[in-house]
Amino acid sequence: MNFGATLMMAWLGAFADVAAAGEATKSAPPDPAYCARRDADPEKCVIQDGSPHKPIVRKKQPPPK
């Protein structure tokens, strides 16, 4: 019984460490005061929380006859 309890506690501890590591990788929202400046880096002020949008493709109009 003691070995089973130890194994269970080790597994739960490892699971908690993985969950905490996942939370640490989330980036903080950009600082509004910094992003309002003219010399602010755009890479630091853009929230990137998903895949990029599909590009808009416009069909060429046939030339007039």
Count of structural domains within the chain? 1
Distances (CA, A) of 45 to 6, 8, 59: 46, 43, 34
Q: Is residue 56 part of a domain?
A: no
CA end-to-end distance (rounded Å), the chain: 89
Q: Is residue 54 part of a domain?
A: no
Name the pLDDT band for 1 (thresholds 50, 70, 90).
Answer: low
3-state DSSP call for residue 63?
coil
Whether the pTM exceeds 0.75: the reply is no
Q: Is residue 14 part of a domain?
A: yes
pLDDT digits (tens, 9 = 90+) for 16-65: 776 666 555 556 778 899 999 999 998 888 887 778 778 888 888 888 87
